[in-house]
Structures are given as structure tokens and as C-alpha cells.
Structure 1
Amino acid sequence: MSALDTNSDTGALTAEVKGRSLWQDARTRFFRNKAAVAGLVIFALVLLFAVFGGLFAQWSNEEIDWSMLGNFERIGGPSLENGHYFGVDETGRDIYARTVQGTRISLMIGVIGALVSVVVGTAYGAAAGYIGGRTDDVMMRLVDVLMSIPYMFVLILLLVVFGRSMFMLFVGIGLISWLDMARIVRGQTLSIKHKEFVEAAIATGVSTPAIIARHIVPNLLGVVIVYATLLVPQMIIFESFISFLGLGVQEPATSWGALINSGTDHLRTAPWKLYFPLAFFVVTLFALFFIGDGLRDALDPKDR
């Protein structure tokens, strides 16, 4: 056997022995999931529509086409000729432009609400689980008390008392929905707080906040990421339901829930008012659920 063959065999064995990291393995498994990849592509297209869709609109979301007033149910349907790609509503406003705006607001509320929930819930649950003892008991009993209060009742009460605004939607949705995240993170923290790397950090004198930030939270990222992807559609559903009741996003701004609520009033005579925002709402939710399922399967240690 020549030296060249020996070197090639050695290189092949080295390549075979060399392992892959957790994230590399998870990425490979995720992209093998066709449903998850399809969901990722669809969600990316929805994001592109939200960001760049306004560039293709010939009408603004507040601009009124006076020629459509009074007869929009007969001539206000979708048309490429007059620039109303999704038709107009009863006030002559372009549904396409309003769907773009509604997509931006609904996704923004979903992502920011989920982000607030993840940050607050992760910090709270990791601290409770790691510190343990009486502190853990008090912190988790507080979570139990808050979870016993109907979520929608609290959100509606906040909007009624403090006003219907985007800020209160963020506060109400984000700062209440962290409770489930806190319980999940706390349970995961209890399972890793006695691992060797944590005990080594304690032995070297690392402070409690540093251990939580550097050793506990990074090892919870898999669970946090999966739950966050499932939390975004939940936030969108909550916001859409509140807007459907008329307590969420207020005119002239709009969201998917507000557009769907408005579209149900003219379902028989002008169905395009409902179909287009509803289609974006349903497709986006399915895409996010597929992404969440794909991440859950990719990061599940039992399937490796």
C-alpha cells in the first residue's frame, strides 16, 4: 500500500470519527423535516410580505377611493386594473394595503409578546429552580396564584382600565403569558443544577447570578427556543381575539383580528374582506406550528 493510500485512509477515518455538535445535528434533523422546512419558507414569505408588501401597493392603508363608495359590494372586488389587489372595504380603503399593515402589527405583537414572555419567564424560572428552598416555594406559589386568574379576563381588564393602545397590548400579553415559561424553565433547571459543570463553577467561587447566566440558561436554550416558536402563534391568536372583540388595535391602525372582525360583517356580499386577511392568519399559524414541531423533534435528545 502506498503512502498516499495510507494518508487517504487516515483522513477518512478522522472524518468519520469527528463528531457533530448538538446544534449541527439539530440543524440537519430540522432540514430533513419537510413540513418544518415548508413552514419556514412560508413564514419567510409572510415576513417578506409584511416588510416589502407596501412597495407594491398603489393605495395607502388610509387612502379612500371615492369612486367605490356606495357601491363597493358590486365593484369593489379584487382587481389589478384599479390597483385594489384584494378589493376595498365599505369606506373605500384598499384591503391589500390594510392587510400589509395588519400583518406587520400582528407579527410585531406576536414576536415582541413572545420575546417579553421568554425573557421574563426564563429569568424567573431559572432563578427559582437554582436557588431552591423557601425562595423557590414562594416564587412558584406566586406563579400558581397568577395562573389561577383567567388570562383573558386580566387582559381585557387592563385594556378597559388603562386604555386600548398598542403599549397595553404588549404589557398585557407579554407580562402575563410568562407564567408557563417560568414553570417549564424551573423544571428543567432542577434537572441540571446538580450537574458536574455547575458544581465545578460553585467550587471555583462563581457567584449565583453568574452561574445562572453562564451555565444554567445556555443549557436551557433548546427548550426555550422550541417553546418560543409555539408561543408566537399563541400571542397572535390572543391579539386577534382581542381585536376581534374590538378591544385591541384601534383605527386607523389594524391587525388580522380587526380585519377579520370587519370582514365578517360583509361575508355574503363582499367575502374578499374576510378571505384575504383570514388566509394570511391561518397560513402563518400553521407555518409557525410546523416550525415549532420541527424544532422540538430536532432538539429532542431521545431521538438522537
Structure 2
Amino acid sequence: MSLNPDPDTADRLLAAQAAADVKGRSLWKDARQRFMRNRAAVAGLVALVLICIFAFFGGFLAQYEPDYVDFSLIGANASQGVPSFETGHYFGTDSSGRDLYARTVQGTRISLLVGIVGAGVAVIVGTLYGAIAGYTGGRTDGAMMRSVDILMSVPYMFVLILMLVIFGRSILMLFIGIGLISWLDMSRIARGQTLTIKGKEFVEAAVATGVRPMTIILRHIVPNLLGLVIVYATLLVPQMIITESFISFLGLGIQEPNTSLGALISNGASNMQYGVIWQLAFPLFFFVITLFAFFFVGDGLRDALDPKDR
């Protein structure tokens, strides 16, 4: 018997050895590499990290508390509260004599919390609702999604303002109100993806082995929606911030002595006629940079996790 393998066997052995030497890349590693090649997304991520550092640690550099009033810089002397490092008012003062730097730090922190918590509530509720509807199917799916259609026909801003007026204008109610109204779009997206996923082999295998439907949804359906959920949540945060800013601009959002970027922009816009540009410029700068950072990161994640591009 010849000890030398035939050419076809040798080629197969070489191909198998070459395949074994190649290190496979996971989904998340591949997505991370694609994300890092997107310069706009990386720049947005860096800007977002810096804004978070400013919002949560910038207060340590403040010389004054957000509610401290300098009575010498209110009324007719409000225009004298210009930005100055000598006085400790880095961003100047507002029309009430309060340090604008400290209030901008507080407003940025509250706006970020409203956006992140609101988006988190919307994503959790919408994903579970859509996954249950899509996996169950039949009349249950029809009833659940018709309920979503009815709720989507109700004016979003009207419901939110009505909730704030009835239950009180608190930060907690703003979190709950924005989150619980914003889950409708996420539920329709999750349902559509669930209809595709529930026909996969691993779901059929789980059904054949007797796994309960709710366990299948939580362990098999929802984890496969994670990429889509991350992208949608990243794009939903700036929408939540804009909604909160609009509500605060109307005077129905964050109440004194707390503040948000929307409330600061509203106060700054009302004082533009007196030439105090800094009261509008600094809050508006952080507002715009935050929105662009989230949008760029969301676009980068969408491109990185898109299976068609991969």
C-alpha cells in the first residue's frame, strides 16, 4: 500500500489546514472594526464621551452652585455678567444672576438622563411587545398591533402635555411619559424582525424540545434583535432630548430650581434683545453637539451592524 495520499486528498488536507489557521471573526468584532473605520461615527463617539464627562463631572470645576444668586448681576446689571475666569463665571450669568456654567452642567446632565432613560423605557417596552406579538401571531398579533395603530393615531405631544398637566410636572413623570409613548415605533420594528426570526432552525428546535414560548422569546428572539435595538436606541435618544427640550421650552418640562438645555435655551432666547448672547450660545452649543454626536454614532452603528453591507 502506498503511503503517499492521492492529489485530491492532499488538496483537501491543505485546505482544511488553511481553514483551521484562519481565525474567525465574531459578529461584534466585525462590527467594531467597521465602526472604527467610520470617522464621523468615531468623532461622534469621542464628542459624546466628552459631553458625558462634562455633564457628570463638570460640576467639580464650578465655583458656584446652580441655584446660587449673585444679586449684583440681576435686573439692570444682568448684561454685566459676562463670561470671565476671574469672577468664576466661566459662561457668564443668566438674567437671575445665577452661574450659567453650573446650570449648563446641570441642564446637560438632566437632558442626557431624560434621553437615555426615555429611550431605554421605549426600547424595553417596544421590543417585548413587538416580539410577543410577532411570535404569537394570529388573532393575538392582530389585536396587539391594531392597538398600536390606534395609539399612533393620537397626537404624541398632546398626550405628553396632558400627562404632565394631570400627574404633575416632575422629572420622573417626564421620564415615564416620554418613554411610554415612544415605544410604538419600536414595537412595529421588533414585530417585523420577529416574524423572520421565528422561522429559523434554532427556534424550531427549541419548540420541538418543549421550551415555553416566553422562554423562547426572551432567550432566542430578543437576543437576535439586539443589534437592531442598539441602533434604534442610539437614534431615539436625540429624539427624546428634542422632545424634552420642546416641552421645557414651553414651560411644562423641568421646573425650577432644576433646569435642562431646553429651559436654558428658552431663557437665553428671551434675553437676546438685551445683547446677552452668551445665555443662548453656550446651552445651544451643547445641545447641538449632543444631537449630532448621537446621530453620527447611530449612523455608524447602523452601517456596522447592517447584514447587507457585511
Q: What is the TM-score of this pair, normalised by structure 1?
A: 0.94
Q: Is the 8 A contact 1:72 1:88 kept in 2?
A: no
What stretches of structure 2 of length at least 5 have no aligned partner?
A: 1-13
| 1:46-61 alignment, distance < 5 Å | 46-61=51-66
Counterpart residue identity of residue 293, structure 2: A
| Matched-pair identity in % | 69
Q: Once the 2 structures are TM-superposed, how far is the Cα of residue 16 of structure 1 from its aligned partner?
A: 5.5
User: 1:169 — aligned with what?
Assistant: 174
What stretches of structure 1 of length at least 5 have no aligned partner?
A: 1-8
Q: Is the 8 A contact 1:165 1:248 kept in 2?
A: yes
Distance change >3 Å, CA 298–CA 72, structure 1 → 2: farther
Secondary structure of the residue aligned to 2:116 is helix
RMSD of the TM alignment (CA)? Answer: 1.6
Secondary structure of the residue aligned to 1:96 is helix
The size of the alignment, in residue pairs, is 296
Q: Once the 2 structures are TM-superposed, how far is the Cα of residue 71 of structure 1 from its aligned partner?
A: 4.1
Distance change >3 Å, CA 265–CA 139, structure 1 → 2: same
- For residues 20 and 278 of structure 2, the distance between their equivalents in structure 1, rounded to whole angstroms, comes to 57
Say whether 1:242 aligns with 2:262: no
Q: Is the 8 A contact 1:72 1:89 kept in 2?
A: no
| 1:216-295 alignment, distance < 5 Å | 216-268=221-273, 269-295=275-301
- For residues 208 and 254 of structure 2, the distance between their equivalents in structure 1, rounded to whole angstroms, comes to 52
Q: Once the 2 structures are TM-superposed, how far is the Cα of residue 14 of structure 1 from its aligned partner?
A: 5.6
Task: Out of 153-162 and 253-262, give the one that drifted further.
Answer: 153-162
User: 1:107 — aligned with what?
Assistant: 112
Q: Is the 8 A contact 2:78 2:97 kept in 1?
A: no
Matching residue within 23, 30, 34 for 1:25: 30
Q: Is the 8 A contact 1:86 1:95 kept in 2?
A: yes
Q: Is the 8 A contact 2:78 2:96 kept in 1?
A: no
User: 2:99 — aligned with what?
Assistant: 94
Q: Is the 8 A contact 1:113 1:235 kept in 2?
A: yes
Distance change >3 Å, CA 80–CA 297, structure 1 → 2: same
- For residues 79 and 296 of structure 2, the distance between their equivalents in structure 1, rounded to whole angstroms, comes to 39
1:40-99 Cα distance to aligned partner (Å, 9 max, x none): 000000000011100000011001112222344432110000000000011110000000
1:257-277 Cα distance to aligned partner (Å, 9 max, x none): 000000011113211010000
- For residues 26 and 206 of structure 2, the distance between their equivalents in structure 1, rounded to whole angstroms, comes to 23
Counterpart residue identity of residue 263, structure 1: G
